[in-house]
Amino acid sequence: MARDIVIPADAGAVVIVDLDAIAENYRLIQSTCPGAEVGAAVKADAYGLGVGPVTAALSDAGCTTFFVATPAEGTHLRKTNATAEIVVLNGPEPGNIATLLDSRLTPTLNSLPQIETWAAASANAPMEAWLHIDTGMNRLGLGPGELEALIAKPARLDGIRISTILSHLACADTPDHPMNAAQRDSFTATCELLTAITGPVRTSLANSPGVFLGSEYHFNMVRPGASLYGIRPSAERPNPMKQVVEIYTKILQVRDVDTPMTVGYGAAHQVTGTRRIATLAAGYADGYPRAAGNTAGHTEGKSMCAFIDGQPAPLAGRISMDLITIDVTDLPAALCRPGQTVELLGPNVTPDDLADAAGTIAYEVLSRLGPRLQVEYRGGTN
Ligand SMILES: *Cc1c(COP(=O)(O)O)cnc(C)c1O
């Protein structure tokens, strides 16, 4: 792919988002969970990839439920999608009831006060909601004490129609972690208790890595985000997902350096011998993590690389806001000229690879892609 990509003169770097790959990943998850519906987490602008085009592609693939974090994200999504169910994970507050109703958003009720807030807003029709039970995250959702109080006084739910009960896995990316089965069993038991109050409801436990833990984790609906965007479900297993995101930049300048020169801020990269350094037109402001920079020289096996025509060039020194320096000494000179396209993410570097080099996770790499990147969508119906 890299060969065909030319970075426009006005831009420093281009991010390519493959909408067909997202649809393919959606279908792979569908076939992994044949008994369950597949909703899609599209919070944080669809993990940085653009909520409009991403949800359009997912809708075309058959997705009818989308998860966002905030009412504002829900309102934004509602403008381009009139029919989908949009679930707001952060839940209702007295000040956002009007937004939730106006945009026809379904809140997740995460606590007794949120149940009270939503019930109080009920006028004539019952207020639809999802109910979030905490089974071990200790983040959002009703904990054991709140659950007991709810079961002791079911009238708290008067005026509310619970359509779905959900919980969230803490360790699903570690398939052998004992917490997975413990959360699953606790969720099953809690759903049995609750449906005595709510009547029949749908149940939902699995995020992306949960999808790949087996059918006993699928319940009625799964809620993948990361896997749709190509991120691996687990570092311990091969990644079954198709890569969605590629980033290309270009060479701005090439120079020869020699001992005892240094490259970049902090003089952190000491050259050993005659080396050729290329400066690239992207940096941490574009979302390339500064922590991925190689500041201790070319430590064998540890250097993060950029790729030119499939050939690796190790990063040299600190990553700047707008620039990255790479060592191209071992590459043919014809590939190392200003204007040359350089792969930062693509066939040779996955978002997971880059995240590993930076000591973070690909979720953070994608959701922090910079607004300066020129976005190009591939595939889809547009
Ligand atoms: C973000 C989120 C998901 C999606 O998680 P992934 O690991 O990206 O698949 C699912 N459920 C909840 C409650 C979430 O907050």
Torsion region of 230: left, alpha or beta (phi above 0 gives left; psi -120 to 50 gives alpha): left
* Six token digits for residue 319: 């990553």
* C-beta separation of 52 from 42 below 8 A: no
Residues 167 and 202 in one domain: yes
- 141 C-alpha to ligand 1 centroid (Å): 14
Specify the pLDDT at position 41. 98
Q: Does a structural domain hold residue 16? A: no
Q: Does a structural domain hold residue 133? A: yes
Element (H, E) at 362: helix 362-367
- Edge-to-edge order in the sheet of strand 106-109: 37-38, 221-222, 202-204, 160-166, 127-132, 106-109, 85-88, 65-68, 40-41
CATH number at residue 208: 3.20.20.10
Mean pLDDT value of segment 317-335 = 97
Of 229, 262, 291, the one marking the end of a domain is: 229
Catalytic-residue membership of 153: no
Task: Show the ligand 1 pocket: residues with CB < 6 angstroms.
Answer: 41, 43, 89, 168, 207-208, 223-227
Q: Which of 43, 217, 229, 363 is catalytic?
A: 43
Q: Report the C-alpha gap between 351 and 349 in whole angstroms.
A: 7
Q: Does a structural domain hold residue 9? A: no
Catalytic-residue membership of 265: yes
The tally of domains found in the chain comes to 2
Q: Report the C-alpha gap between 63 and 85 in whole angstroms.
A: 10
Q: Does a structural domain hold residue 219? A: yes
Full domain range(s) for residue 66: 33-229
Amino acid identity of residue 32, one-letter, is T
Residues 208 and 253 in one domain: no
Specify the pLDDT at position 88. 98
* C-beta separation of 302 from 288 below 8 A: no
**Tens digit of pLDDT for each residue in 81-112?**
999 999 999 999 999 999 999 999 999 999 99
Residues 58 and 180 in one domain: yes
How would residue 302 be classed by pLDDT, with cut points 50, 70 and 90?
low
How would residue 301 be classed by pLDDT, with cut points 50, 70 and 90?
very low
Specify the pLDDT at position 239. 98
- By most ligand atoms within 8 Å of CB, the mutation choice from 28, 51, 67 for ligand 1 is 67
Q: Report the C-alpha gap between 162 and 323 in whole angstroms.
A: 51
Q: Does a structural domain hold residue 38? A: yes
Q: Report the C-alpha gap between 151 and 125 in whole angstroms.
A: 23
* C-beta separation of 331 from 308 below 8 A: yes
Residues 45 and 175 in one domain: yes
Q: Report the C-alpha gap between 254 and 12 in whole angstroms.
A: 16
Q: Whose CA is nearest to atom 4 of ligand 1?
A: 225
Q: Whose CA is nearest to atom 15 of ligand 1?
A: 89
For the four alpha carbons of 348, 350, 351 and 354, in that order, the dihedral sign comes to: negative
- By most ligand atoms within 8 Å of CB, the mutation choice from 86, 88, 89, 232 for ligand 1 is 89
* pLDDT greater than 90 at residue 8: yes
Least confident interval from 64-78, 117-131, 197-211, 236-250: 117-131
- 4 C-alpha to ligand 1 centroid (Å): 35
Residues 94 and 122 in one domain: yes
Q: Does a structural domain hold residue 26? A: no
**Tens digit of pLDDT for each residue in 345-375?**
999 999 999 999 999 999 999 999 999 999 9
Mean pLDDT value of segment 42-69 = 98
- 224 C-alpha to ligand 1 centroid (Å): 6
Residues 131 and 52 in one domain: yes
Q: Does a structural domain hold residue 260? A: yes
Q: Which atom of ligand 1 is nearest to the CA of 47?
A: 8
Mean pLDDT of all residues in the chain? 95
